Amino acid sequence: MKNQNGYLLLVIGLLQCAAPLLPVLGVGRSVGSRATGEGIPPELPLGIFFSIWSVIFALYIGFALFALLKGAYLERRLGPPLMLAGAGNVVWMLSAQLIGNEWLNFILLLPILIYSWESSFRLHRMGGWDGTLRRFVAGALSGLFSGWLTVAVSISLPRLLRSMRGLEATDQVWVSLLEVLLPAAILAWIYARQVSRGSWFYVALAWGLIGIAANNLLRTGTEALAFVTLAAGAYIIYRRIADGARPAFE
């Protein structure tokens, strides 16, 4: 069973790396081109900020190799939710590239968010980092995955709501921005209160918010939106620092 889980994690990790390459091969349409096809929305991070996926995928494969070569209790506990989160991510990428339905994409993101958060919760209950490389990989993976999925869910909401109201990407930009920042803040609060207070989650969340600010500063030319995004992100990080870390079994 140990090796079986390791193989499955490795296959899923490789599939996550391969799925974004399909549009390059002429299959489907890239997520980025779909997101900006009708204009540049205010809630979308600048393209380079999506490079965080490469870090997450590398950590995922590293975790899979630990599970495959010398799996221990850590990999057995975190393996199932990470396996489901990774498999869900592959399905989401295929859906976003081949189908592009906003409702379907948003619904598919939710179980990925839940399972990535579950991996963070399980690691938190185990006590966080213990000074070993395998625990570092697990902590960085679960935290970055959880934080970036929080960003992904938050930035998907305005596009979904605009489609319901018949609006374009550049309509009611302040409303669209608030539809990102409020869910992101609420999800960050829930994560800190009920899941974990690991720092990697906030690294990914801050990275996403900085990307949104950069998008509004460099591409849409709406400096006020960029300033508000940075201010909201700074407050979220401040609350994390002010509240401090929570004991593992609290």
List Cβ<8 Å contacts ≥24 apart for 191-195.
191/117, 191/120, 191/146, 191/150, 192/239, 192/240, 192/243, 192/246, 194/121, 195/117, 195/120, 195/121, 195/124, 195/146
For residue 250, what pLDDT is reported? 43
Hey, what are 225's tokens? Answer: 């939106």
What per-residue confidence (pLDDT) applies to 244?
61
Contact predicate 63/141, CB 8 Å: yes
* Nearest-angstrom CA–CA distance, 45 and 35: 11
Predicted pLDDT of residue 127: 78
Tens digit of pLDDT per residue, the chain (250 long)?
456 788 999 999 999 999 999 988 888 888 878 777 778 888 899 989 999 999 999 999 999 999 988 878 888 899 999 999 999 999 999 999 999 888 999 999 999 999 999 999 999 988 766 778 989 999 999 999 999 999 999 999 998 898 888 888 788 889 989 999 999 999 999 998 889 878 899 999 999 999 999 999 998 888 999 999 999 999 888 887 777 655 444 4
Which residues, 6+ apart, have CB-to-CB distance to 16 below 8 Å?
57, 60, 86, 89, 90, 93
